[in-house]
Amino acid sequence: MTEELNKNDIRLILDLPVGIGSEGPDVWGKKNMFLLDKNFKPAKLSGCPPEEAYPYTQVWGQPLYNYDSSDLWDYQEASIKQLLKNADLRLDHFVGYINRAAIPTEYKKADGTILKGNDIFKPVEEGGMGSGFFDNSWIEDIYNKRSPKGENIFEIFVRVAKELGKKPEDTYILEDFGPLGNTKLYKDFYKKYGKNFTSQQVPVGMNICDPKNRKAMKPNVAILTGNHDMPPLREFVDKLTSETKTKQDKKLQKQFETFCKDELKLTDEEMKNKDSIFSNLMKWHYTMNVKQVQTTLQDALGIYFRPNIPGFWNGSTDKFLMKTTPEALLPFWSRVFPKDFLSRDNQSGINPGYKKLADKFIQMMKDLYPKEK
């Protein structure tokens, strides 16, 4: 399959997860590679501290790698090699290879009460520590962990790519955002290894509104219009062009208005049309001087669909927050994007088609790059 894709100038990019589910065969087959208790349950759990966009502690529930196990280093190197034979790699939550959140399965309160599992993050009035509670001692340094050969994980990534005849900077894409990204170790990583990786960034929300952030964009980045965790770009445009009351939102709206006029070159009349703003914003992404531009399916089509909110399961009680329109309330991709959805036009109900919207995106790309295939 890879050879056929290459003949058509298509690159396959696989997602390399930073963790593995506790019920997976890898965990049960190599228990010493993970931090497990005497009952082979996770001793600590993967997750992420609160951040501005999601002000609560995310607990993903995966067992943590045991970096004192030589088997783990052999396993990771073998996995990278096997995957790179077929594709390039996006490193999910790559900052977890620098600093990781090791969330305990139980926590002792100041009064001696022991909280276990999800009870730790229950509201304070219910005896918990609150959904936004996070103990800084849970952050662990992974960056300085070394294999029996004396390499850290990033040195292994770089070496393996070169051994397979690939350029690391063309092979690896880093998911480069999150609250663990603003640390001394993170900055040290970029100083030593940044040139060997493509940095995946999301220039929307506050990033796109703030001119300082736009100027900080470097050529060696893969820019996203959005990702699976974020609201769709269409919703972002709506928010920044609708009436608002908070001081912070008004500030963002003013920045966005300036951006639309200075960067997108929109007239006052065009600023009244949200469709015009959205289409010009998409064009702006695809004409930036960066290494790659990536878009989600929902942003390419310009529809309201959000597949995920970090830390929550699809179909849980918050599913109405995860889908923006009544037509897309069902939680599964297969229901929002059913079979042959690109060959039909019927954007309502549970069996929608998006041919016209897909054709519009294709035409935009043809207009922007008429000499390309």
Q: Read off the pLDDT of residues 133-152 as tens digits, 9 standing for 90 and up.
A: 999 999 999 999 999 999 99
Spatial contact of 231 and 306, defined as CB atoms under 8 Å apart: yes
The residues facing 65 across adjacent strands are: 34
Q: What angle do CA 79, 200, 13 make, to 5 degrees?
A: 40
Residue 172 domain-assigned (yes or no)? no
Per-residue confidence band for 332, with pLDDT thresholds at 50, 70 and 90: low
% of the chain with per-residue pLDDT over 90 = 46
In-domain check, residue 85:
no
Whole-prediction pTM: 0.82
Q: DSSP letter string over 141-207? A: E-TT---TTS--HHHHHHHHHHHTT--HHHHEEEE--SGGGSSHHHHHHHHHHGGGSEEEE---THH
Residue with tokens 């010493």: 32
Q: How many CA atoms lie within 13 A of 10 on its CB side?
A: 9
Whose tokens are 């390419």? That residue is 300
| Eight-state DSSP code of residue 371 | T
Question: How far apart (Å, rounded) are the C-alpha atoms in residues 279 and 285?
Answer: 10
DSSP class of 105? S
pLDDT at 321: 43
- In angstroms, rounded to a whole number, what is the distance separating the alpha carbons of residues 305 and 275? 16
Overall average pLDDT of the 174-192 stretch: 84
- Is 112 within a domain? yes
Q: Which of 26, 8, 110 is nearest to 65 (CA)?
A: 26
Question: Pick from 169, 155, 164, 166: which is nearest to 292 by CA?
Answer: 169
Unique residue bearing structure tokens 């022991």:
114
Residue 152 lies in a domain: no
Looking up tokens 């997976």 gives: 24
In a domain, 104, yes or no: yes
Q: To the nearest 10°, the Cα dihedral for 182, 183, 187, 188? A: -160
The answer for residues whose C-beta is within 8 angstroms of residue 82's C-beta and 6 or more apart is: none
* Residue 39 included in any domain: yes
The mean pLDDT of 80-105, rounded to a whole number, is: 93
pLDDT score at 224: 87
The number of helix segments (H) and strand segments (E) in the chain equals 15, 15
- pLDDT of 240 > 70? The answer is yes
Nearest to 311 by CA among 140, 142, 178: 178
Per-residue pLDDT, 350 = 66
**How far apart, in whole angstroms, are the C-alpha atoms of residue 54 and residue 243?**
23
Reduced to 3 states (helix: H, G, I; strand: E, B; else coil), residue 238 is helix
In a domain, 35, yes or no: yes
Q: Which DSSP string corresponds to 109-123? A: -TTSPEEEGGGGGS-
Looking at the structure of the chain, the number of domains it has is 1
Arithmetic mean of pLDDT, 306-318: 57
> Average pLDDT in the 199-219 region?
66
- What would the two tokens of residue 295 be? 């878009």
Cα–Cα distance measured from residue 143 to residue 100, given in angstroms and rounded to the nearest whole number: 9
The tens digit of pLDDT for each residue in 338-362 reads 778 888 887 776 677 889 999 999 9
Q: What is the pLDDT of residue 314?
A: 44
The tens digit of pLDDT for each residue in 278-299 reads 999 999 999 888 888 889 899 9
Asked if 50 and 130 touch (Cβ cutoff 8 Å), the reply is: no
**72 occurs within a structural domain:** no
Q: Taking the CB of residue 285, how many other CB atoms lie within 10 A of it?
A: 20
Minimum mean pLDDT range among 158-172, 246-260, 303-317: 303-317
**Higher pLDDT pick, 115 / 54:** 115
Region of residue 283 (phi > 0: left; psi between -120 and 50: alpha; otherwise: beta): alpha
What is the residue range of 35's domain?
23-64+99-141
Q: Which two tokens stand for residue 10?
A: 């298509």
**What mean pLDDT do residues 299-317 have?**
70
Q: What is the mean pLDDT of residues 87-108?
A: 93
Q: 151-189 burial, b if ≥16 CB within 10 A, otherwise e? A: bbbbbbbbebbeeeeeebbebbbbbbbbbbbebeebeeb
By DSSP bridging, strand 221-224 and strand 58-63 are unpaired
